[in-house]
Amino acid sequence: MNSDQTKMPEKEQTPHQINERMMARWTRKVGLFTGGLVVVGIITAWILYETDQTARVSQRAYVISNEILIEPIRANDGTLNRWIISPIIENAGSTGTVNAAIVSGLRPENGAIPEPTGINNLHQKQTRQFTLGPKSRNSKIIPPMHITPDLLPSLRTANPRLFVLGEISYEDVFETPHITKYCYFLWAYPQNIGIEDITYSLCTGRSNCTDKECEQKR
């Protein structure tokens, strides 16, 4: 169709020209409608994806460790025999863990390194597989570690420093792999205070993390 035919008044156009013009209009409308459907489809797919991700976050297992148990063991005469150290492992999520495994132990550190970043060279190393239900915590997933009173001087002076380290790998019900790392620094009160006991502080930085945090803090 040339420009003269397009500008020609409708009553002067032939039926063929009128049909061509109407087909062109409908083609434009169908194109706009199809484009609208594509946009709606993209938005719907995005909404479904976000809904699925929200469901995964709200229904997944979420394993953390923010606390350890330190229990003094004494002889019948009251003499301190040892302390037993047990990390408390918690599942704060809404479903249980799948294929969970833990590696944990003690690690002495000399020098100026702020805190250890791996689970190699562990003393009293323990490796276990376990299952932890939703909204639950357990201090007996691994056998406890033992600290004897002869370590008190080094715990008081932090020379060497003594850490409790652990790494937990597991999957959620969506078969997504996860990782949790924990670290605690053990220390004792100065001798002049007269408290014969040990306590702990939670490490910071790369030794305490979950999932993507662990990748970012390498």
Per-residue pLDDT at 194: 67
Q: What is the pLDDT of residue 171?
A: 95
pLDDT for 139 equals 94
Ramachandran category for residue 121: left, alpha or beta (phi over 0 → left; psi -120 to 50 → alpha): left
Q: Where are the alpha helices (DSSP H) in 60-170?
A: 152-157
Domain residue extents for the chain: 3-59, 65-216
The C-alpha atoms of residue 166 and residue 179 are separated, in whole angstroms, by: 11
**pLDDT for the residue 48:** 58
Please answer whether residues 8 and 17 qualify as being in contact, where contact means their C-beta atoms are separated by less than 8 angstroms.
yes
Reported as a pLDDT band with limits 50, 70 and 90, residue 110 is confident
pLDDT tens, residue by residue, 187-214: 998 876 767 789 999 987 667 899 988 8
Amino acid letter for position 154:
S
Chain segment 9-47, per-residue pLDDT in tens: 555 667 666 666 677 677 776 667 677 777 777 776 666
Contact 181, 205 (CB under 8 A): no
Q: Quick one: pLDDT at residue 158? A: 87
Of 156, 160, 86, 162, the closest CA to residue 122 belongs to: 162
The backbone torsions φ and ψ at residue 80, rounded to the nearest 5 degrees and listed phi first, read -70, 125
What local confidence, expressed as pLDDT, does residue 7 receive? 53
- Could you give the CA distance from residue 106 to residue 119 in angstroms, rounded to a whole number? 9
Asked whether residue 164 carries a pLDDT value surpassing 90, the answer given is yes
- Cβ(217)–Cβ(209) under 8 Å? yes
Fold for the domain defined by 65-216: Immunoglobulin-like (2.60.40)
Q: Which has the closest alpha carbon to 204: 182, 171, 174, 173?
A: 182
pLDDT digits (tens, 9 = 90+) for 48-96: 555 555 555 577 899 999 999 999 999 999 889 999 999 999 999 999 9
Q: Which residue would you say has higher pLDDT here, 31 or 175?
A: 175
